Amino acid sequence: MSPRTGTSIDNPLRRLIGMSATNNPNPVRGGRFREEPSAIMERINASVDFDRQLAPYDIAGSRAHASMLAATGILSVADNDAIQEGLDRIAREIEEGTMTWDPALEDVHMNIEARLAELIGEPARRLHTARSRNDQVATDLRLWLRDHLDHLDDALTRLQESLIVQAERHAASVMPGMTHLQPAQPVTFGHHMLAYVEMFGRDRGRLKDCRRRMNESPLGAAALAGTSFPVDREATAASLGFDRPAANSMDAVSDRDFCLEFLAAGAIIGVHLSRLAEELVLWTSPTFGFVRLPDSLTTGSSIMPQKRNADAAELVRGKAGRLTGALVSLLTVLKGLPMTYGKDMQEDKEPLFDAAATLMLVIPATAAMIGGMTVDTQAMRARTDDGFVTATDLADWLVREKGLAFREAHHTTGRLVALAEEKGCDLASLPLDAMRRVDDRLDASVRQVLTIDASVASRASPGGTAPQRVAEAAEEARRRYLA
Ligand code: ARG
């Protein structure tokens, strides 16, 4: 950050305010103020430290606005040419890192405008005609978010792809499916992967909804009431790729629904990633031993040489906290704000920026883990021996083959499970005569349904875990999400 330049008499920024007699470098303060802002006022007011990441969008918005002003005769063509050239140069300076940002100028908007005044003089002072920082910042934020929504959609697509590849590889790899984290019924690992593909598919849908609704242009709303200049809002909307101008000028400057919608979608993505990350933490633990992450995605311990910690997964799980926090934070900022703009709304940016940056970290990190993990199919199969996971198959067999009511079959199977537990064996190894003492309708053919492979193969209902269904579902997922 450059040193505070506020009090210097020959501050070049003063050109923007036409060399007024005041000693005030901040063009926003105009002729109204006799005193400088105090240091603490300046500090609480300044946002340029973080909102400078809006700069490319601010420049795009200003270019569109100036061109429209020229096209409607509000601004001369020569002034517009000078503004466009000056903005070009500022864009280059920002890219090269030579732009100096001054907190005395509050925010990204005033910094760019002031630099423009330094570069081109008088025409810069005409740029803010028929515009306010209120419609300007709302425009910048929407442009910023639109770009980020597109990047996030790409990142989620890559994550889905990594899951689909594992699903294809493991369409028939069996594992214990859980409810309550207790062994429930055997499933395939591929099926489990595709469950997440659906979750991230809905997440992409939410981002798409958000994008569709947010793509309206606030420009021309000015401070809150519209403007007395004959602006062409359709033109600025079209040139910035918006679908239409926002209908109501008051709503246009005070609405931050698009930020909330994004943050809500982001928080849900964070929760989804956190659930997957939690499973990776469990699966990579030797207690499960289902999954091994590559060395490149694993950390060691400073004291225990044997450790392979899934830190990346834990961080993905942990960062769900900041994503949820960002949503709650902005909801709380906006709650109770009267129409229209209030400076509280400057607090929208940090949660928004942090959420986007966090998502652009955790989504690719998860994709890397899923893409790089190796799955120990033997270990997963071995764990299906625990917990009598084919008990439902036995009950279903009693219903299908012997005509029992399901409730009776459930009860009978429960007794068989208790018997197996007593004998320390699994259901398939129960001696037939012992089984028949529980219910004499049981016969040897029941054994066929008690194997793990028979169990998963039998769950061939649409959306079920049968390997055949999983292979088809993976193909369908490719078509639906990766095309
Ligand atoms: N930095 C401000 C923000 O982010 C820009 C808008 C300022 N508008 C105003 N009326 N003070 O909200």
Tell how far the Cα of 14 is from the centroid of ligand 1, in angstroms.
Answer: 21
Mean pLDDT over the full length of the chain: 94
User: According to the model, what pLDDT value does residue 359 have?
Assistant: 98
**Rounded Cα gap, residues 96 and 39, in angstroms:** 30
Contact call for residues 281 and 310 (beta carbons, < 8 A): yes
Q: Place 303 in a pLDDT band, splitting at 50, 70 and 90.
A: confident
215 pLDDT above the threshold of 70 = yes
Check residues 6 and 379 and name the one with the higher pLDDT.
379
Rounded Cα gap, residues 307 and 82, in angstroms: 63
Q: Whose CA is nearest to atom 1 of ligand 1?
A: 107
- Cα of 170 to ligand 1 centre, how many Å? 53
Question: What pLDDT score does 20 carry?
Answer: 45
d(CA 376, CA 46): 54
Which protein residues are within 6 Å of ligand 1, measured from CB?
47, 51, 107, 133-134, 137, 341, 343, 345-346
CA of 117 relative to ligand 1 center, distance in Å: 20
Whether 355 contacts 420, CB under 8 Å? no
Is 80 exceeded by the pLDDT of residue 147? yes
Residue 370 has pLDDT above 80, yes or no: yes
Distance from Cα 97 to the centre of ligand 1, integer Å: 24
The answer on pLDDT for 69 being more than 60 is: yes
Q: Is the pLDDT of residue 4 over 50?
A: no
Whether pTM exceeds 0.85: yes
**pLDDT for the residue numbered 261:** 98
Buried b (16+ CB within 10 A) or exposed e, 104-123: bbbbbbbbbbbbbbbbbeeb
DSSP 314-335: HHHHHHHHHHHHHHHHHHHHHT
Percent of the chain exceeding pLDDT 70 equals: 95
Average pLDDT over residues 426-441: 93
Q: Which atom of ligand 1 approaches the CA of 108 most closely? A: 1
Please state, in angstroms and rounded to a whole number, the distance separating the CA atoms of residues 98 and 119.
Answer: 14
What residues are annotated to the active site? 180, 301
Q: Looking at ligand 1, which residue's alpha carbon is closest to its atom 12?
A: 346
179, pLDDT greater than 90: yes
